[in-house]
Amino acid sequence: MSDENTVDYGPLTKLIGTWKGDKGTDIAPEPDGQENNPYYETIVFSAIGTVENAETQVLAVLHYRQIVQRKSNDEVFHDETGYWMWDAANATIMHSLTIPRGVCVLAGGKHNGGANADGSLVLEVKAGIDDKNWSVVQSPFMQENARTTSFSHRITVDDTQMQYCETTMLEIYGRSFEHTDENTLSRQP
Ligand code: HEM
Burial 42-53 (b: 16+ CB within 10 A, else e): ebbbebbbbeee
Q: pLDDT tens digit string along 143-155?
A: 999 999 999 999 9
Task: Note the pLDDT of residue 97.
Answer: 98
DSSP code per residue over 80-99: EEEEEEEEGGGTEEEEEEEE
Give the pLDDT band of residue 15 (cuts 50, 70, 90): very high
Residue 129 has pLDDT above 80, yes or no: yes
Q: pLDDT tens digit string along 78-113?
A: 999 999 999 999 999 999 999 999 999 999 999 988
Identify the bridge partners of residue 37 per DSSP, sorted by sequence position: 26
Task: Note the pLDDT of residue 2.
Answer: 66
Domain ranges across the chain: 4-187
Task: Note the pLDDT of residue 36.
Answer: 97
Residue 5 has pLDDT above 90, yes or no: no
Nearest atom, ligand 1, residue 142 CA: 35
Distance 122 CA to ligand 1 centre (A): 24
Name the closest-CA residue to atom 37, ligand 1. 146
Task: Note the pLDDT of residue 120.
Answer: 94
**Lining residues, ligand 1, CB within 6 Å:** 26, 28-29, 37, 39, 68, 77-78, 99, 101, 103, 105, 142, 146, 148, 151, 166, 168, 170, 172, 179, 181
Residue 169 has pLDDT above 80, yes or no: yes
Name the closest-CA residue to atom 7, ligand 1. 78
Question: Mean of the per-residue pLDDT values for the chain?
Answer: 96
Task: Note the pLDDT of residue 1.
Answer: 63
Name the closest-CA residue to atom 29, ligand 1. 168
Among 72, 7, 73, 13, which Cα is nearest to 45's?
A: 13
Task: Note the pLDDT of residue 18.
Answer: 98
- Name the CATH code of domain 4-187 (choices 3.30.1330.50, 3.50.50.60, 2.40.128.20, 2.40.30.10): 2.40.128.20
Distance 54 CA to ligand 1 centre (A): 35
Give the pLDDT band of residue 140 (cuts 50, 70, 90): very high
Distance 176 CA to ligand 1 centre (A): 14
Task: Note the pLDDT of residue 114.
Answer: 85
Task: Note the pLDDT of residue 6.
Answer: 84
Whether the CB-CB separation of 61 and 74 falls below 8 Å is answered with no
User: What is the C-alpha separation between 14 and 74, in angstroms, rounded?
Assistant: 28
H-run or E-run covering 178: strand 175-187
Burial 61-92 (b: 16+ CB within 10 A, else e): bbebebebbbeeeeeeebebebbbbbbeeeeb
Distance 146 CA to ligand 1 centre (A): 10
Name the closest-CA residue to atom 1, ligand 1. 181
Task: Note the pLDDT of residue 110.
Answer: 97
Distance 109 CA to ligand 1 centre (A): 22
Quote the percentage of the chain above a pLDDT of 70.
98
pTM for this one? Answer: 0.96
Q: What is the dihedral of CA 32, 33, 38, 44, to 10 degrees?
A: 90
